[in-house]
Structure 1
Amino acid sequence: MTGSLAPDNPFASPSSLPHDLPPFARIRTEHFAPAIEAGFTEHLAEVDAITANDEPATFTNTIEALERSGRLLDRVLEVFFALTSSDATEEMESLEEEFSPRIAAHYDAISLNSALYSRIRAVFDQREGQDLTQEQRYLVERYELEYRLDGAGLDESGKARLKELNQQLASLDSLFVRNLQGDTNALAVVVDDVGELDGLAESEIAAARAAATEAGLDGKYRITLPLYTGHPWLAQLRNRGLRERIFTASRARGSRGGEHDNRETVLESVRLRAERAELLGFSSHAALVAANSTAGSVAAIDERLATLSGPAVRNAGRELEVLQRLAEEQQRASGADPFALEPWDWAFYAEQVRARDYDVDEAALRPYFEAERVLHDGVFHAAELVYGITFAPREELVAHHPDAQVFEVFDADGSALGLYILDLYTRDIKRGGAWMSTYRQQNELGGESTVVFNVLNVPKPPAGAPTLLTLDEVETLFHEFGHALHGLLAHVTYPHFGGTNVLRDFVEFPSQVNEMWLTHPVVLANYARHYETGEPLPETQREKLKAAGLFNQGFSTTEYLAASVLDMAWHKLSAAEANAVTDVVAFERDALERAGLLVETVPTRYSSTYFQHIFGGGYSAGYYGYIWSEVFDAASVEVFEASDEVRGTGERFRLAILQPGGSRPPQQLVREFLGEDARIEPLLRRRGLTGWG
Structure 2
Amino acid sequence: MANIAIIGAGPAGLMAAETLASAGYQVAIYDQMPTPGRKFLMAGLGGLNISHAGKLDDVLASYFHLPETVQHSIEAFPPQAVTAWVEALGEPTFVGSNGKIFPKSFKASPLLRAWLRRLQSMGVELHSRHRWTGFDENGDLLFQTPDAEALKVSCDAMIMALGGASWPRLGSDGLWAKIWHEGNAGLPDLVPFQPSNMGVNISWSEHIKAGFAGQPLKAITVTLADKIMPGEVVVTKYGLEGPAIYALSAALRRQLTNGPLQIMLDLRPALSREDIQKRLEKVPTKLSLSNRLRRALKLTAVERVLLRELRDFSGNSAILAGLIKALPLTVTGHQGLERAISSSGGVDAGTLDEHLMLKAKPGVFIAGEMLDFDAPTGGYLLQAALSTGRLAGEGAIKFLTQAGHQPTSKPTLQTQDHTMSDNPLLAPWTTLFKVPPFAAVLPEHFSPGFESAMQENRAEIDEIADNAAAPDFENTIVALEKSGDSLDKVASTFFNLSGADTNDDLQQIERDIAPKLSRHSSATVMNEKLFKRIDTVFQQRDDLKLTSEELRVLEKYHENFVRAGAALKGADRERMAEISARLAELGTQFAQNVLADERNFQLVLENEQDLEGLPDFLISAAQSAAEERGQSGKHVITLSRSLIEPFLQFSSRRDLREAAFKGWIARGENGGDSDNLAIISETLTLRQERANLLGFEDFAHFKLANQMAKTPDAVRDLLENVWAPARQRAAEESTKLSALAQELGDNAQIAPWDWRYYSDKVRMRDHALDEAEIKPYFQLDKMIEAAFATANKLFGVWFREVTDLELYHPDVRAWEVRDNVGNHIGLFLGDYFARPSKRSGAWMSAFRSQEKLSGNIRPIIVNVMNFAKAPKGQPALLTFDDAHTLFHEFGHGLHGLLSDVTYPLVSGTSVARDFVELPSQLFEHWLTTPEILSTYAIHAKTGEAIPKDLMERLLAASTFNQGFATVEYTSCALVDLEMHLNAKAAAADPVAFERAALEKIGMPSEIVMRHRTPHFMHVFSGDGYSSGYYSYLWSEVMDADAFVAFEETGNPFDEELAKKLKTNIYSAGNSKDPAELYTAFRGRMPSIDALLRKRGLQSTA
Query: Which category of TM-score, normalised to the shorter sequence, fits these structures?
Result: over 0.9
SS in 2 for 1:124: helix
Q: Verify: 1:194 aligned to 2:599, yes or no.
A: no
Aligned-pair CA distance for 1:34? 1.3
**CA 1:276–1:539 in structure 2 vs 1: closer, same or farther (change >3 Å)?**
same
Q: Which amino acid aligns with 1:612?
A: M
Report the Cα offset of residue 228 of structure 1. 11
1:135-146 to 2 correspondences below 5 Å: 135-146=549-560
Residue 323 (str. 1) matches residue 745 (str. 2): no
Q: 1:290 to 1:187 in 2, by over 3 A?
A: same
Q: Do the aligned residues in 2 keep the contact of 1:403 with 1:424 (CA within 8 Å)?
A: yes
What are the within-5 Å matches in structure 2 for residues 436-455 of structure 1?
436-447=844-855, 448-455=857-864
In the TM superposition, what whole-angstrom CA distance separates every residue of 1:379-429 from its partner, at most 9, and x where no partner exists?
Answer: 111111111111001100122211100110011221110100000111111
Q: Secondary structure at the match of 1:549?
A: coil
* Correspondent of 1:612 among 998, 1017, 1025: 1017
1:154 alignment counterpart? 568
What SS does the corresponding residue of 1:94 show, helix, strand or coil? helix
Matched, 1:313 2:731: no
Greater Cα shift, 183-192 or 640-649: 640-649
Alpha-carbon distance in 2 for matches of 1:198, 1:389: 46
Q: 1:577 to 1:243 in 2, by over 3 A?
A: closer
Aligned to 1:408: 816
Which digits, 9 at most, give the CA deviation of each residue in 1:594-630, with x for residues without a partner?
223x211111111011111111142111111000111
Provide TM-score, normalisation by structure 1.
0.96
Whether 1:599 aligns to 2:1001 is no
How far apart are the structure 2 equivalents of 1:611 and 1:5?
41
Please show how residues 669-684 of structure 1 align to structure 2 within 5 Å: 669-684=1077-1092
Superposition deviation, residue 480 in structure 1: 0.3
Residues 265 and 403 of structure 1: CA distance in aligned 2, closer, same or farther (over 3 Å)? same
Structure 2: how far apart are the matches of 1:661 and 1:434?
21
Shift of 1:191: 1.6
* Secondary structure class of the residue paired with 1:604: coil
Instruction: Tell me how far apart the structure 2 counterparts of residues 134 and 197 of structure 1 sit (CA, whole Å).
Output: 61
**Cα deviations by residue, 1:503-528 (Å, 9 ceiling, x for unpaired):** 11110000000101111111111110
Aligned to 1:590: 996
1:458-607 equivalences in 2 (<5 Å): 458-574=867-983, 576-577=984-985, 581-596=987-1002, 598-607=1003-1012
**Structure 2 residue runs without a partner (length 5+):** 1-417
Displacement after TM superposition at 1:647 (Å): 4.5
CA contact (8 A) 1:169 1:269 kept: yes
**What do the CA deviations read for 1:520-556 (whole angstroms, capped 9, x no partner)?**
1111111101111111101122222221111111000
Q: Cα RMSD (Å) of the superposition? A: 1.6
For residues 649-680 of structure 1, the C-alpha deviation after alignment (integer angstroms, 9 at most, x for no partner) is: 22221011111111110000100111111111
Hey, what does 1:626 align to over in structure 2?
1032
> Deviation digits for residues 182-227 of structure 1, max 9, x if unmatched?
1112222122113322232323212212222222323322111136
Is 2:798 the counterpart of 1:390? yes
> 2: CA distance between counterparts of 1:657 and 1:206?
41
Alpha-carbon distance in 2 for matches of 1:28, 1:156:
41
Cα separation, 1, equivalents of 2:764 and 2:641: 26
Q: Which residue in the other structure is 2:779 paired with?
A: 370
Task: Give distance in 1, aligned partners of 2:462 and 2:950.
Answer: 63
Residues 306-330 of structure 1: CA distance to partner in whole angstroms, max 9, x if unpaired? Answer: 1111111001001111111111112
Q: Could you tell me whether the CA contact under 8 Å between 1:228 and 1:605 is conserved in 2? A: no
Equivalent position amino acid for 1:421 in 2: L
Q: Relative to 1, partners in 2 of residues 1:227 and 1:109: Cα closer, same or farther, differing over 3 Å?
A: farther
Q: Secondary structure at the match of 1:691?
A: helix
485 and 5 in structure 1: CA distance in 2 versus 1, 3 angstrom threshold: farther
Please list the CA deviations of residues 269-296 of structure 1 after superposition, one character each: whole Å capped at 9, or x if unmatched: 1111111111111111111110110100
Structure with the larger helix share: 1
Larger Rg: 2
Q: Secondary structure of 1:397's partner?
A: coil
Aligned mate of 1:253, from 636, 648, 667: 667
SS of 1:140's equivalent?
helix
Does the aligned pair in 2 maintain the 1:5–1:35 contact within 8 Å?
A: no
Q: CA deviation at 1:140?
A: 0.8
Looking at structure 2, the residues matched to 682 and 14 of structure 1 have their Cα atoms a distance apart, in angstroms, of 50
Name 1:334's counterpart in structure 2: none
Q: 8 Å contact 1:294–1:667 — kept in the other structure? A: yes
Q: In the aligned structure 2, how far is the partner of 1:375 from the partner of 1:303?
A: 37
Structure 1 residues 654-665: aligned runs within 5 Å:
654-665=1062-1073
Q: Deviations over 1:317-353 (max 9, x none)?
A: 011111111111121xxxxx52221111111111111
Counterpart check, 1:642 vs 2:642: no
Q: Higher strand fraction: Structure 1 or Structure 2?
A: 2
**Dislocated runs of 4+, deviation >6 Å:** 227-230
| Local SS of the residue matching 1:550 | coil
Gaps of 5+ in 1: 332-336
SS at 1:420 equivalent: strand
Work out whether residues 187 and 253 of structure 1, in 8 Å CA contact, stay in contact via their aligned partners in 2. Answer: no
Letter in 2 for 1:609: P
Kindly tell me: are residues 229 and 102 of structure 1, through their superposed partners in 2, closer, same or farther at Cα, counting changes over 3 Å?
farther
**Matched residue, 2:835:** 427
Q: Which amino acid aligns with 2:1042?
A: S
Q: Which residue in the other structure is 2:525 paired with? A: 111
Match runs of 1:226-375 below 5 Å:
226=640, 231-331=645-745, 338-375=747-784
Q: Give 2:1060's aligned residue.
A: 652
CA distance in 1, matches of 2:975, 2:549: 37
Aligned to 1:71: 485
Q: Indicate if the aligned counterparts of 1:363 and 1:470 stay in contact, CA closer than 8 A.
A: no
Q: What TM-score comes out, normalization by structure 2 length?
A: 0.61
- Take 2:985 and 2:618, find their aligned partners in 1: how far apart are those partners? 47
Corresponding residue SS for 2:914: coil
Which letter maps to 1:571? H
State the percentage of identical aligned residues. Answer: 40
Maintained 8 Å contact 1:306/1:595? no
Q: Relative to 1, partners in 2 of residues 1:228 and 1:390: Cα closer, same or farther, differing over 3 Å?
A: closer
Distance 2:627 2:524 in 1: 49
Judge conservation of contact 2:637–2:644 (CA < 8 Å) in 1.
Answer: no
Deviation at 1:135, TM superposition (A): 0.3
Contact kept, 8 Å, 1:438 with 1:453, in 2: the verdict is yes
Measure, in 2, the Cα distance between the counterparts of 1:623 and 1:167: 23
Distance 2:647 2:928 in 1: 22
Deviates more, 1:186-195 or 1:273-282: 186-195
- Aligned pairs for 1:13-162 (under 5 A) are 13-162=427-576
CA distance in 2 between partners of 1:235 and 1:135 (Å): 49
**Structure 1 residue 117 displacement after superposition:** 1.1
| Match 1:457 to one of 832, 851, 866 | 866
Secondary structure of residue in 1 paired with 2:957: helix
| DSSP-derived class of the 1:506 partner | helix
Distance in 2 of aligned mates of 1:520 and 1:689 = 21
* 1:411-458 C-alpha deviation (Å, 9 max, x unpaired): 122111010000011111111000000001110002210100000011
SS at 1:7 equivalent: helix
Q: Which one-letter code corresponds to 1:479 in the other structure?
A: H
One-letter identity of the residue aligned with 2:756: A
Given that residues 642 and 868 in structure 2 are in contact (C-alpha distance below 8 angstroms), is that contact kept between their aligned partners in structure 1?
Answer: no
Match of 2:1093 in 1: 685
Q: How many residues align?
A: 680
Q: Structure 2 CA distance, aligned partners of 1:14 and 1:359?
A: 58
- 1:308 maps to amino acid: V
Instruction: Give, in whole Å, the separation in 2 of the partners of 1:647 and 1:412.
Output: 17
SS of the residue corresponding to residue 419 of structure 1 reads strand
- Counterpart of 2:528 in structure 1: which amino acid? S
